[in-house]
Amino acid sequence: MEQAPHEHGTAPDTRATAVPRAAPGPAGWAPAARATLHCLTGCAVGEILGMVIGTALSWHNVPTMILAIVLAFVFGYALTVRGVLAAGVGLRAALRVALAADTLSIAVMELIDNGVIVLWPSAMNAELSDALFWGVLAASLVLAFVVTTPVNKWMIGRGKGHAVVHRYHH
């Protein structure tokens, strides 16, 4: 016969590897915008760094864009992992939370952001010193924010995405 563990008032083990589920419920636009802004910050850092590195090294468009996308995911996940680690969660669990919370948001953001850059006439050939480079990059990030916010609202309303991360915020 199995017995339930005896509790002594200890704190829960936050090193668990399972990704917690938040309770679904109505999601407002403000939390969705904050979640999107959080994602956009990491994505923008990675995207800009990747575009700057690739352009400065005179790489072709495809390797530059791949680098920018990879770095956008790395920096996007890193911001979430940093916050979750600060709440005392172990690294493995923090990585799982970041993957669950950010993957769809970052993917949509990168699809929109890079789609704008690819479709904007002459943007793929702009140099770092061109206003076009910075203008299109800024416009693509703004549009990515606008399109991704409803995605995050939908996910938060279903107890997914950044709703999972909020469990670790104090």
User: Measured between alpha carbons, how far is 107 from 119 in angstroms, rounded to an integer?
Assistant: 18
* Mean pLDDT value across the chain: 84
Which pLDDT value is given to residue 168?
67
pTM: 0.80
Q: Which region among 10-14, 32-36, 115-119, 135-139 has the lowest average model confidence (pLDDT)?
A: 10-14
Percentage of the chain with pLDDT > 70? 80
State residue 127's pLDDT score: 87
Decide which of 15 and 102 is more confident: 102
pLDDT digits (tens, 9 = 90+) for 5-47: 434 344 444 444 444 444 555 678 998 898 899 889 999 999 9
pLDDT tens digits, residue range 74-89? Answer: 999 999 999 889 989 8
How many Cα atoms within 13 Å fall on the side-chain side of residue 132?
12
pLDDT for 148 equals 95
Say if CB 23 and CB 120 are below 8 A apart: no
In this structure, what token pair is assigned to residue 43?
């994505």
Question: What pLDDT, on the 0 to 100 scale, is given for residue 157?
Answer: 87
pLDDT-derived band at 4 (thresholds 50, 70, 90) equals: very low
| Helix, strand, or coil (residue 78) | helix
Give the list of residues 6+ apart from residue 5 with CB closer than 8 angstroms, or none: none
Q: Is the separation of the CB atoms in 42 and 79 below 8 Å?
A: yes
